[in-house]
Structure 1
Amino acid sequence: MEVNHFDKRARLAECKSQIAAALNDQNFSEVQLWLARAWDADPSAALSAWTKRTLDPVRDDFCLAGIKVAFLRAYTIEPAVALLTASAYTQRLRIDPFLGQFNTYAQELLTPGSDYHRFEADVTILALLTRVVAPELWDGFASRTESDTEKIVDRVCNELGTLMDHFRKHNSGYMVIHNLEPPPLLCLGIGDPGRPGGQRDCIQRINQFLRCEIDRRPGFCLLDMEHLVYGFGASRWYDEQRWQTIRLPMASDAVAVLAKHWLKHIGALSLPAKKVLVVDLDNTMWHGVVGEDGYDGIRLDDSPAGQPHRKLQQALLDLHHRGVLLAICSKNNHADAWQVIQQHPDMLLRPEHFAAVRINWENKSSNLQSLAAELNVGIDSFVFLDDNPVEQQQVRHALPQVRVLDVGKDASGYSAIVRDEIGFERRWVSQDDQNRGRMYAQQRSRRDAQAESSDLETYLHSLETVVERIDPDAAMLERVAQLTQKTNQFNLTTRRYSIQQINELSRANESEVLAFQVSDRFGDSGIVGVAILRFEPDGCEIDSLLMSCRVIGRNIETAMLTEIIDIARLRSCERIIGRYIPTAKNSPCADFYDQHGFVFANGAWELNCGQRSSVEMPAWIKMRVPPVTPPGQT
């Protein structure tokens, strides 16, 4: 133990020294790397205090994003909040916290003018606790009648529903709700599990109520405390002495786990999602070097050598189904490596799972840039996984925007590192996310067709493109909000909207939210375009007009604009107003309004609705629209 303690102290000392040097050089990517290593070694209160002392003075320069987070709680959470705000620096995220008073969460939510509501949080954490929310289900349960427990469950569900109603009425942000955790020892012992109306059953019914309510309410998320306690181990999670003395029900190690899961939820709501995971092959995707060991020499079976790599492939496959694009970057002979991917019986991943591939002898940073160009996404949305520390450092140095996973030679931890990456967390996985890998495979087919066409117009006609305007229902609003939050290149105003804001805009009479789905002879690209319109007595303002990079270059944006003009004319608007707000990434759409006949005047672009002839539907696009009812008619 003394040796381990010494090793930890030595690692922390090295990390702190490297952080100081990197701060002196203003090399913030190196600061982030060494800070993450420090937190992996010792996620403690002492490191939390050191992190805040060191980085608080430079947080405006160091942090890439900031977010206001309110904590409404049924127990003492100050230690967890301190760990969270400090560990958020590992993601270059600044958290400005508001901490509600102990066990006043209901009053804070139900009082419109409370300090909590005045804080106007982006995210609210509602930290519930079974022994506080439903004390009758925690202690003395064995003496309750079935009628008693029914009333208790109904009461708790009604109270939680009321709190959610009041939150949404007065707050447009997100809420992350803890569900209820069962006690470590059930009152009826081994006779309780599976017993209808038992202690565990009552708690699970309340949790099922929360799941159903969150499913139907935009902007609510569930932190599954029941699963968290189970995964950590209830006997290790709870600390009854701390509960009795300071009303903190969990052990120190459990506090760190809670803070980490808070960060995952907050990161998923506030940080740009990582879109692409680029993976090495030899000794990463499989055990061995195919050029030396040969096709039969690599290991992916259930042996100690092969199993970790097979577990990594399962993790990658799960990410693929979550909407993360997979790509290969390997120094290898293409034919040797590709034979393994195509034919090896133990491979879980096949060619169709990869959106793009670079198997050659070029340096990996150049290959990553080439992959970004092919996939038409920003290099800052890349995560790189390679077992070779030399390759890791080369990419970190050449491309500091790329997130390089800090892995060593021990492959047994690779799958956990990949699964634990906050950039891959998704609050909600849409159908488009699940189909994204297949859509990029279709994109390769389109590129092949374009290469075979004599000219661009012939190629565009050959696609047989159909654009369908959709009035999004509740299930689609999450995808619409997702597009506003992550689309950068073709996004005229880059206004980010939450799911609840999109929901309000779609229901208001003075605004309209349009979604556009694109398909062609190669397949369905899903919902790739969004327009948000605001109406005034004589005009229509294009609040937002954005489109996924997957369909740039096919004049989809022109088809979208023709629909906007039709809707504006149907509402008797005399003019359409549009704005272009430049960012570091949206230059591809800088000339959009100018190219479509708009005139710049008084700080905005305007088009007379009578000038429809200046905007024509591209001849190679067929538009489908739902029936439109003019305002005032039923």
Structure 2
Amino acid sequence: MTNCNFPWRPPLAKDWAERLTEIEATLAEERAPDYSTVKTLANQQLGRREQLLVERLAKKLKKAALIDDAFAPMTIGLLGNRTLSYLPDPLAAAGLARGLSISSVEAPYDSVASFAFSPANCFAQSLDAVLVVLNESALASKRPLLDVSAEKEALADAEELFVALASAAKQKTGCPAIFATLPAALQVSSAELATPGSSARFRQRINLLLAEGAIEGKWLLWDQAALASRVGLENWLDPVRYHAAKIPFSLEMCPLAADNIASILAAMKGKSARGLILDLDNTLWGGVIGDDGLAGIKLGQNSPEGEAFVAFQNFVLGLRERGVVLAVCSKNTDEIAREPFREHSEMVIKEDHIAVFQANWSDKATNIKSIAETLSLGLESFVFIDDNAAERERVRQELPLVSTIEVGEDPSFYIERIAQSGQFDHLPLNTEDISRAESYGGRAAAAEIRAKIGNYDDYLTTLEMRMTISPFDDVGRARITQLINKSNQFNLTTRRYGEEDVRAIENDPDQLGWQVRLDDKFAQHGMIGVVIVRQDSKEWMIDTWLQSCRVLERGVEQRVMDSLFEEAAKAGVENIVAQYIPTDRNKMVSSFYSDMGFNVDSENDDGSVDYSCSVQDYEPHRTFIDVSLEK
């Protein structure tokens, strides 16, 4: 029996057991199993037995230290006033399905207060996040009904605890806190929310308080309340186990809770999807445009099916507003496929919303690979939506890294399946996130021009690129922090800093923090680079150099480096030193400093390389970018 809590996952494969046996045989040979094979095995509609087997596999992979480098490692602290010891195994399994290798460290039971308010550290190690799951009893003393002042005092006490826990997480473990919202209370009356002091009202206000803190960058959220509401409180909470063992949600819900949490962790690691690839016929509208014609397809028109497609299109545009790039992959004649976008009055998605439009008679796997290449994104960055089960299965077989969601054939369920999948989970949004879809669209347009212009210098000139380099500031702080903690490939040291660290750099006269933005005639790419430099009178040291892969091969890094050496020369600096610290994901920049003209000073035992370059001897690069350096 498969798990109906994961309807967006593909059905359990007939050869699932055989694939597991093959993976375990690979482990027995002391070899790391293939990343996509393990991820695919975990990301299916698992039954209870299969769930336990994946949990066991995750343990074996860690014990043997034979997990593929593509799995991003994360160590999570579990802290609460209820029992969380049932979460680590499901979390490890959920991590495999999302490309993560999750290890959990559980704090001693009910050590919340000591962690928040005393020097004691119940974790005693660095972590990637501390998940804090509290129930109402940890947040409030008795609140008499209708006593508004007592309710306000309880909320203030709760906020003080949240702030203390978030601060302790940062100071003691070097990571953010993730707070779980509180599930809704069982209501005695429909007037509960209008009754000061009631549990229902208090929990709702606590959740709003947590949301405001997340907006301000104080902590992150796991919306346990939304998940409990989705499955129903009677399914979420097991009263018998709650009172017997203080388990905050039923054991049957642990895999679902773990997957929900893992989607947040994936967002923290930059593993969320960035692109949505859409089929057309019976996916964006009902019917086949080539057979039924413009007047024959079902879209709006006050029909249930047509209205479902309109609702889905509105949902898709909502994703685009969050920075998700849209692409079309359809077996169709191109001109015919574009007709609804251009001429149908109830078509919500327009042609200019689509960054790459692939409508032809090639197989969809080939077209998806072409879309990925055009947008310079990895296959793992995409979600594919198609009503046709055979097409979904073929893409899964040929492109297992693409997340092909099991949307079914009824458009009424498309939104639910995609939203519940967590593939587009994200941290609190900023303006840079929102502009990302436009940026990718501009990249596609630039790629089209590049194909037409043979000379690369002429192509770069045609882009009319404009760069702005400015110091760290309040406005950019959230995006700066996001880039520092999400960028892996074009990141020379992969050092991670939080918002308070970034704020400290802003106010430190001995540190230089640059945020780099780029525009061209096709798009505003927003903030695409971060540089942090430790400054001494005669020598500067590059601590952090990272860049978005959206703007590779445009001369961006060369122009930023030129600007850095220009400023160093003005300050009388004699030398700039730097370091490359290798990881499993930043090999693409292993020769970055050598390519920039730096000399190798030492190659260290840990694989890192130290570089230096004389300011006097540095030779500027030829670039095609107008730059504005703000101070």
**TM-score, with normalisation over the residues of structure 2?**
0.85
State the Cα distance separating 1:405 from its structure 2 match: 2.8
Alignment counterpart, residue 94 of structure 1, candidates 57, 80, 101: 101
**Cross-structure match for 1:119:** 125
Task: Measure the CA separation in 2 of the matches of 1:490 and 1:121.
Answer: 23
Mapping of residues 25-40 of structure 1, within 5 Å: 26=33, 29-39=36-46
Report if aligned partners of 1:315, 1:419 keep a CA contact under 8 Å in 2.
no
**Bigger mean CA deviation after superposition, 329-338 or 225-234:** 225-234
Deviations 1:270-317 (A, max 9, x none): 352322222222222222222222222222335344344434323322
Deviations 1:366-395 (A, max 9, x none): 222222221122233233223334433433
**Cross-structure match for 2:173:** 171
Report if aligned partners of 1:19, 1:35 keep a CA contact under 8 Å in 2.
no
Task: Measure the CA separation in 2 of the matches of 1:55 and 1:151.
Answer: 45
**Cross-structure match for 1:607:** 613
AA at the equivalent of 1:222: L
**Cross-structure match for 1:574:** 574
Note if 1:67 corresponds to 2:70: no
**Cross-structure match for 1:632:** none
State the Cα distance separating 1:444 from its structure 2 match: 4.4
State the Cα distance separating 1:70 from its structure 2 match: 0.9
Equivalent position SS for 1:213: helix
Note if 1:528 corresponds to 2:495: no
State the Cα distance separating 1:233 from its structure 2 match: 3.4
Report if aligned partners of 2:438, 2:524 keep a CA contact under 8 Å in 1.
no
Alignment counterpart, residue 159 of structure 1, candidates 128, 136, 161: 161
**Cross-structure match for 2:117:** 110
Q: 1:284 to 1:599 in 2, by over 3 A?
A: same
Q: 1:109 to 1:572 in 2, by over 3 A?
A: farther
Task: Measure the CA separation in 2 of the matches of 1:607 and 1:546.
Answer: 19
Report if aligned partners of 1:460, 1:554 keep a CA contact under 8 Å in 2.
yes
**Cross-structure match for 1:58:** 61
Report if aligned partners of 1:130, 1:182 keep a CA contact under 8 Å in 2.
no
Report if aligned partners of 1:73, 1:102 keep a CA contact under 8 Å in 2.
yes
Report if aligned partners of 1:492, 1:544 keep a CA contact under 8 Å in 2.
yes
Task: Measure the CA separation in 2 of the matches of 1:271 and 1:461.
Answer: 32
Q: 1:324 to 1:413 in 2, by over 3 A?
A: same
Q: 1:413 to 1:177 in 2, by over 3 A?
A: same
Deviations 1:322-347 (A, max 9, x none): 11111111111111111022222232
Note if 1:355 corresponds to 2:355: yes
State the Cα distance separating 1:504 from its structure 2 match: 5.0
Note if 1:134 corresponds to 2:137: no
AA at the equivalent of 1:289: V
Task: Measure the CA separation in 2 of the matches of 1:12 and 1:34.
Answer: 9
State the Cα distance separating 1:617 from its structure 2 match: 7.1
Task: Measure the CA separation in 1 of the matches of 2:504 and 2:601.
Answer: 30
Task: Measure the CA separation in 2 of the matches of 1:304 and 1:80.
Answer: 41
**Bigger mean CA deviation after superposition, 87-96 or 451-460:** 451-460
Mapping of residues 529-548 of structure 1, within 5 Å: 529-536=529-536, 538-548=538-548
Structure 2 regions of 5+ residues with no counterpart? Answer: 5-10, 27-32, 604-609
Equivalent position SS for 1:296: helix
**Cross-structure match for 2:404:** 404
Task: Measure the CA separation in 1 of the matches of 2:89 and 2:491.
Answer: 37
State the Cα distance separating 1:445 from its structure 2 match: 4.5
State the Cα distance separating 1:562 from its structure 2 match: 2.2
Equivalent position SS for 2:356: strand
AA at the equivalent of 2:274: K
**Cross-structure match for 2:29:** none
Task: Measure the CA separation in 2 of the matches of 1:403 and 1:228.
Answer: 22
**Cross-structure match for 2:30:** none
Task: Measure the CA separation in 1 of the matches of 2:141 and 2:88.
Answer: 25
Task: Measure the CA separation in 2 of the matches of 1:580 and 1:159.
Answer: 40
Deviations 1:355-374 (A, max 9, x none): 11111112222222222221
Q: 1:362 to 1:153 in 2, by over 3 A?
A: closer
Task: Measure the CA separation in 2 of the matches of 1:85 and 1:444.
Answer: 37
Deviations 1:85-118 (A, max 9, x none): 33333224222111122222121343434332x0
Deviations 1:23-50 (A, max 9, x none): 25756534433433233xx4x5x55433
Deviations 1:235-283 (A, max 9, x none): 5444433332222354445545433322222222235232222222222
Mapping of residues 292-307 of structure 1, within 5 Å: 292-301=291-300, 303-307=303-307
Equivalent position SS for 1:287: coil
State the Cα distance separating 1:518 from its structure 2 match: 1.5
Report if aligned partners of 2:598, 2:613 keep a CA contact under 8 Å in 1.
yes
**Cross-structure match for 1:270:** 269
**Bigger mean CA deviation after superposition, 436-445 or 96-105:** 436-445
Task: Measure the CA separation in 1 of the matches of 2:489 and 2:152.
Answer: 54
Deviations 1:415-470 (A, max 9, x none): 22322333421112221221222223334454566567685445544544321112
Report if aligned partners of 1:358, 1:367 keep a CA contact under 8 Å in 2.
yes
Equivalent position SS for 2:372: helix
State the Cα distance separating 1:479 from its structure 2 match: 1.9
Task: Measure the CA separation in 1 of the matches of 2:311 and 2:100.
Answer: 30
Equivalent position SS for 1:602: strand
Equivalent position SS for 1:469: strand
Equivalent position SS for 1:38: coil
Report if aligned partners of 2:375, 2:444 keep a CA contact under 8 Å in 1.
no
Report if aligned partners of 2:577, 2:613 keep a CA contact under 8 Å in 1.
yes
**Bigger mean CA deviation after superposition, 28-37 or 121-130:** 28-37
Task: Measure the CA separation in 2 of the matches of 1:225 and 1:583.
Answer: 34
**Bigger mean CA deviation after superposition, 353-362 or 71-80:** 71-80
Equivalent position SS for 1:102: coil
Task: Measure the CA separation in 1 of the matches of 2:280 and 2:308.
Answer: 13
Task: Measure the CA separation in 2 of the matches of 1:452 and 1:50.
Answer: 53
Equivalent position SS for 1:78: coil
Task: Measure the CA separation in 1 of the matches of 2:400 and 2:194.
Answer: 53
AA at the equivalent of 1:391: E
Q: CA RMSD of the aligned region, Å?
A: 3.4
Alignment counterpart, residue 86 of structure 2, candidates 71, 79, 83: 79
AA at the equivalent of 1:52: E
Task: Measure the CA separation in 2 of the matches of 1:353 and 1:13.
Answer: 35
AA at the equivalent of 2:83: T
Task: Measure the CA separation in 1 of the matches of 2:35 and 2:458.
Answer: 48
Mapping of residues 446-485 of structure 1, within 5 Å: 446-447=446-447, 455-485=455-485
**Cross-structure match for 2:7:** none
**Cross-structure match for 1:386:** 386
**Cross-structure match for 1:184:** 186
AA at the equivalent of 2:241: R
**TM-score, with normalisation over the residues of structure 1?**
0.84
Task: Measure the CA separation in 1 of the matches of 2:457 and 2:12.
Answer: 60
Task: Measure the CA separation in 2 of the matches of 1:291 and 1:12.
Answer: 34
State the Cα distance separating 1:589 from its structure 2 match: 5.2
State the Cα distance separating 1:177 from its structure 2 match: 0.8
Note if 1:20 corresponds to 2:27: no
Equivalent position SS for 2:384: strand
AA at the equivalent of 1:72: L
Structure 1 regions of 5+ residues with no counterpart? Answer: 5-10, 628-634
State the Cα distance separating 1:196 from its structure 2 match: 5.8
Aligned residues: 606
**Cross-structure match for 2:627:** 623
Q: 1:22 to 1:421 in 2, by over 3 A?
A: farther
**Cross-structure match for 1:516:** 516
Note if 1:281 corresponds to 2:284: no
State the Cα distance separating 1:526 from its structure 2 match: 0.9
Note if 1:49 corresponds to 2:52: yes
AA at the equivalent of 1:622: D
State the Cα distance separating 1:607 from its structure 2 match: 1.8
Report if aligned partners of 1:597, 1:615 keep a CA contact under 8 Å in 2.
no
Task: Measure the CA separation in 2 of the matches of 1:384 and 1:431.
Answer: 26
Task: Measure the CA separation in 1 of the matches of 2:435 and 2:98.
Answer: 28
Task: Measure the CA separation in 2 of the matches of 1:27 and 1:202.
Answer: 48
